[in-house]
């Protein structure tokens, strides 16, 4: 196959194929700051508390478990998500945090998920778990990638895990040995091979959601805050989540716009 990608794109592609993810510095610190500031301000508004100074955002988010009760967490999280998705600029800033890397890995005619997801995982919280899974197994398109953004430093059980491609190939070859297991048993069979993602605020994770991934109980003393959103090439195949329903084109080029609208002239 002919490959006209430049050297940087080729290196990114190799890393993504080999590891199953890219961990990169954000393309736009200003956009990332916008995302985090909106979350902090909306959270404080919901809780009816004073907004901390910017230099205290880390402390506020990491120690959020000291400000709320676990039983109130999901309701607060859903209120924050609703507020974020009402902000007409939020998705644009989300995209800008990883724009150039998405262009290099996915393409420059992109569809973006309509709604941003937010995860808040308190220490020892068993209600916010995302068990081992592959998004493809539940109907997503293999042409999608996930942009996962930490709002605090994430490490060990405060982060997420992913099974690297070389080990996933072994699962594929012997899938019948895994498919009948619960997600917990499945995880126990592969946990020695998974990669725990150590990632700091300011970095962006782009990962292959076809690979098994998830999280476990947060055994650290701090709260995890992270966001996730899917991106794919506009003209690549869609799974159960369709364009116009779940995805929306965000960088359609002029030739494509004209081509989509073009109709052959009618001959009477």
pLDDT at 177: 73
Whether the per-residue pLDDT at 179 is higher than 70: the answer is no
For residue 84, the SS3 value is helix
pTM score: 0.95
Tell me which long-range contacts 235-243 makes (C-beta under 8 A, separation of at least 24): 235/109, 236/141, 236/143, 237/141, 237/143, 238/141, 239/136, 239/139, 239/140, 239/141, 239/142, 239/144, 240/138, 240/139, 240/140, 241/113, 241/139, 241/140, 241/141, 243/111
- Length, in residues, of the chain: 268
pLDDT digits (tens, 9 = 90+) for 76-101: 999 999 999 999 999 999 999 999 99
Domains of the chain: 8-235 (2.60.120.620)
Instruction: Give the span between the Cα atoms of 223 and 226, in whole angstroms.
Output: 10
Residue 228: φ, ψ to 5°: -145, 150
Instruction: Round the average pLDDT of the chain to a whole number and report it.
Output: 95
244 φψ region: left (φ > 0), alpha (ψ -120 to 50), beta (else):
left
Whether the per-residue pLDDT at 243 is higher than 70: the answer is yes
């Amino acid at each position: 196959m002919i490959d006209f990608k430049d050297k940087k794109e080729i290196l990114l592609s190799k890393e993504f194929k080999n590891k199953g993810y890219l961990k990169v510095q954000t393309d736009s610190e200003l956009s990332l700051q916008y995302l985090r500031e909106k979350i902090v301000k909306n959270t404080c508004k919901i809780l009816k508390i004073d907004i901390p100074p910017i230099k205290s955002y880390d402390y506020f988010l990491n120690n959020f478990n000291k400000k709320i009760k676990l039983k109130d967490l999901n309701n607060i999280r859903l209120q924050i998500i609703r507020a974020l998705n009402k902000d007409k600029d939020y998705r644009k800033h989300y995209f800008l945090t990883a724009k150039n890397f998405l262009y290099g890995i996915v393409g420059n005619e992109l569809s973006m998920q309509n709604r941003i997801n937010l995860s808040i995982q308190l220490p020892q919280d068993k209600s916010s778990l995302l068990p081992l899974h592959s998004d493809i197994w539940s109907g997503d398109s293999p042409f999608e990638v996930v942009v996962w953004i930490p709002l605090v430093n994430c490490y060990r059980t405060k982060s997420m895990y992913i099974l690297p491609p070389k080990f996933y190939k072994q699962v594929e070859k012997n899938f019948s040995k895994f498919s009948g297991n619960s997600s917990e048993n499945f995880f126990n069979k592969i946990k020695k091979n998974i990669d725990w993602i150590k990632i700091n605020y300011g970095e962006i994770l782009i990962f292959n959601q076809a690979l098994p991934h998830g999280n476990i109980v947060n055994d650290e003393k701090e709260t995890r805050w992270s966001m996730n959103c899917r991106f794919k090439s506009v003209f690549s195949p869609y799974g159960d989540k369709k364009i116009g329903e779940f995805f929306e084109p965000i960088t359609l080029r002029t030739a494509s716009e004209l081509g989509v609208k073009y109709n052959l002239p009618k001959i009477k």
